[in-house]
Amino acid sequence: MELDFSNKCVVVTGGAHGIGRALAERFAAAGGRVVVADVQAERAGRVAERIGGRAVTCDVGSVDGVSALVAEAVAAFGPIDVFCSNAGITDLGDGLASTPEQIERITAINMLSHVWAAQAVVPTMVERGGGHLVQTLSSAALITGPAPMGYTMAKHGALGFAEWVQLNYAHKGIKVTCLCPNVVNTGLIGRDEDVPSTAERAHQLGLGDVVEPEACADHVFAAMEEGRFLALPHAAVGESFERKAGDYDRWLEGTSHRIRRMRGEEV
């Protein structure tokens, strides 16, 4: 049975493009009153107009930005039933050479934004009998791979936070779903949805199994319906996670070899 979000208030951060845009469309198609929140005002406006939602311009990289977003969403559509912390960026610096400012910025957007959002919405959700947090994380949250340093660190932290919320709030009606895809055909890998020719490019980059953002939204809906914590559009991510848990040292050694081979280094 398809989930029904009629008259539910759903917030999607990073809703102007990519996975967030697909989530916003999916929730709107299921009846939700969707707030499309993004730093890109014009793009968010176009998505919101198309789906009959509300655009809010915001930067989730600060606690004030997230608080203002929550206040605007509640004023527009009432108390929030589903909050999708989806906005994310890739590293601004180069591994250990990144500046403190670069590391602080990716930590703020890719990890702390989940905390600011939960602080702002969970108490009201609990008072109202329940709510759902959808966290767009990454395969890099479960299994460290070729993704950059700041991205990997922040996504791991965000997964730890999501587990903590689930452990402490599930019995109070809070559900958590973590989307952990590998490569998705979005802005993060150079797609621009306003430039149709960029849609095919991802498949020519040799990045392996590239899924479309709509498939991520389908996996989120399936996980929400089945009450699963993880939504994994790439089965291989779950398999690697199991190998890691089974023999951590062997997994670390094998993954290190694989990454160095991918980089063309001598192994």
Ligand X SMILES: NC(=O)c1ccc[n+]([C@@H]2O[C@H](COP(=O)([O-])OP(=O)(O)OC[C@H]3O[C@@H](n4cnc5c(N)ncnc54)[C@H](O)[C@@H]3O)[C@@H](O)[C@H]2O)c1
Contact region for ligand X (CB under 6 A) — 72-80, 120-128, 177-185, 221-229?
A: 177-185
Contact region for ligand X (CB under 6 A) — 74-82, 162-170, 187-195, 251-259?
A: 187-195
13 scored as a contact of ligand X (CB under 6 A): yes
Question: What x-and-dash track marks residues 189-228 binding ligand X by CB under 6 A?
Answer: x---------------------------------------
CB of residue 26 to ligand X, shortest distance in Å: 13
CB of residue 172 to ligand X, shortest distance in Å: 26
Q: 57 near 39, Cβ under 8 Å? A: yes
237 scored as a contact of ligand X (CB under 6 A): no
Say how far apart CA 59 and CA 126 lie, in whole Å.
26
Q: Which of 89, 142, 174, 217 binds ligand X (CB under 6 A)?
A: 89
231 scored as a contact of ligand X (CB under 6 A): no
Cβ-in-10-Å burial (0-12, 13-18, 19+) of 218 comes to middle
Nearest Cα to Cα of residue 258 among 145, 128, 105? 145
Is 169 assigned a catalytic role? Answer: no
The conformation of residue 35, written as its DSSP 8-state character, comes to E
Distances (CA, A) of 144 to 9, 85, 103, 244: 34, 21, 17, 10
Under 8 Å CB-to-CB from 86, ≥6 apart: which residues? 12, 13, 14, 15, 19, 20, 23, 134, 136, 179
| Site residues, ligand X (CB under 6 A) | 13-14, 16-20, 38-40, 58-61, 86-89, 109, 136, 138, 181, 183-184, 186-189
